[in-house]
Amino acid sequence: MPIITYREALRSAMDGEMARDENVILLGEEVGQYDGAYKVSQGLLDKYGPKRVIDTPITEEGFTGVGIGAAMAGLRPIVEWMTFNFSIMALDQVINNAAKMRYMSGGQFKVPIVFRGPNGPAEYLAAQHSQALQTLFVHIPGLKVVAPATPYDAKGLLKSAIRDDNPVVFLEGELMYAWQGEVPEEEYLIPIGKADIKREGSDVTIITYSKPLRVVEQAAQELEKQGIQAEIVDLRSLRPLDEETIYNSVKKTNRCVIVDESWPMVSVASHVGWMVSRYCFDYLDAPVELVTSEDVPMPYNHKLELAAQPSVEKVINGVKKVLYI
């Protein structure tokens, strides 16, 4: 299979869906003439024109609302937020309109819209522009939330998100856009709500998603040198969660570490930890361990910035804790 970058996989998904369905449009800041802030939409304006690739003003609440209205009227908008840090400006539209309209209308309105862009810590962006905000969206009924960690998963999940009749929040990562991986040229879909076993193991289950997957894979390689076989569960979909895959893995290994780059309180990690502790209680040989970012705003200093996030060392220490080593 061809090896392409994460950004190229996203572009391929959008290009394919725009060619397949003329109702698919893209709007956001600099998505057109500038080819996207991270060059994800490069070439799409030339191919599909300004009526389908729409540059917007710096007004997140405004163009998010326009996208929701367009979805209710029959289009399938992709709304690109230049960063999820700016999505905070549009939360009223997302929470009170996109997420609730189908429910409040008794199914008369569908809202087939995708909100996508980079989420999570990057580099040298400090406290206001380097945040993992997935918990805000996962908390809301009516939204689907996905966070693919590989180019293969990104393409398959974005195509599924665009075709979904419900609002989907699609979390990428600024530092992931240059990541490379094998991606088929032919069409394929990955269903929303299905996790993936990225590595088979027998001693401990490590659950993660999005950018921390690379840290977890590096930690698993180091653990293998010490005779510890870690199974890696990549959630991919945060709402809905693939509970079956999670539980089956923990029942096999009897130990669980959850790695999440968001803050620990009321996080995806804390919720999954509660689920595992409750529904796999009789199978656990140790309490569930969480490895998250520190419960502080992101520092600007690079050494402190790295120290605040999950690392290979922190993951290894978490694994050894549940193994009582």
> Residue 272 maps to which CATH number?
3.40.50.920
User: Is 187 a domain residue?
Assistant: no
167 and 204 inside one domain: no
Give the span between the Cα atoms of 240 and 118, in whole angstroms.
20
Query: pLDDT tens, position by position, for the chain (325 residues)?
Result: 899 999 999 999 999 999 999 999 999 999 999 999 999 999 999 999 999 999 999 999 999 999 999 999 999 999 999 999 999 999 999 999 999 999 999 999 999 999 999 999 999 899 999 999 999 999 999 999 999 999 999 999 999 999 999 999 999 998 999 999 999 999 999 999 999 999 999 999 999 999 999 999 999 999 999 999 999 999 999 999 999 999 999 999 999 999 999 999 999 999 999 999 999 999 999 999 999 999 999 999 999 999 999 999 999 999 999 999 7
- The verdict on 266 and 296 lying in the same domain is yes
Token pair for 255: 């130990």
Residue 85 lies in a domain: yes
Q: Are residues 52 and 177 in the same domain?
A: yes
Considering the domain architecture, whether residues 227 and 305 belong to the same structural domain is answered as: yes
- Pair 37, 170 in one domain: yes
pLDDT value at residue 17: 98
Q: Quick check: is 60 catalytic?
A: yes
Domain of 163?
3-182
Based on the fold, state whether residues 160 and 302 are members of the same structural domain.
Answer: no
Domain count for the chain, please give it: 2
The backbone torsions φ and ψ at residue 109, rounded to the nearest 5 degrees and listed phi first, read: -110, 130
Residue 258's closest CA among 230, 291, 280? 291
**Edge to edge, what strands does the sheet with 144-146 contain?**
53-55, 24-28, 76-80, 114-118, 168-172, 144-146, 237-239
129 tagged catalytic: yes
**pTM of the predicted protein model:** 0.96
From the list 8, 17, 60, 305, the catalytic residue is 60
What's the pLDDT at 325? Answer: 77
Q: Are 155 and 215 found together in one domain?
A: no
Q: CB of 268 within 8 A of CB of 237?
A: no
DSSP reduced 3-state for 47 = helix
- Annotated catalytic residue within 30, 129, 222, 224: 129
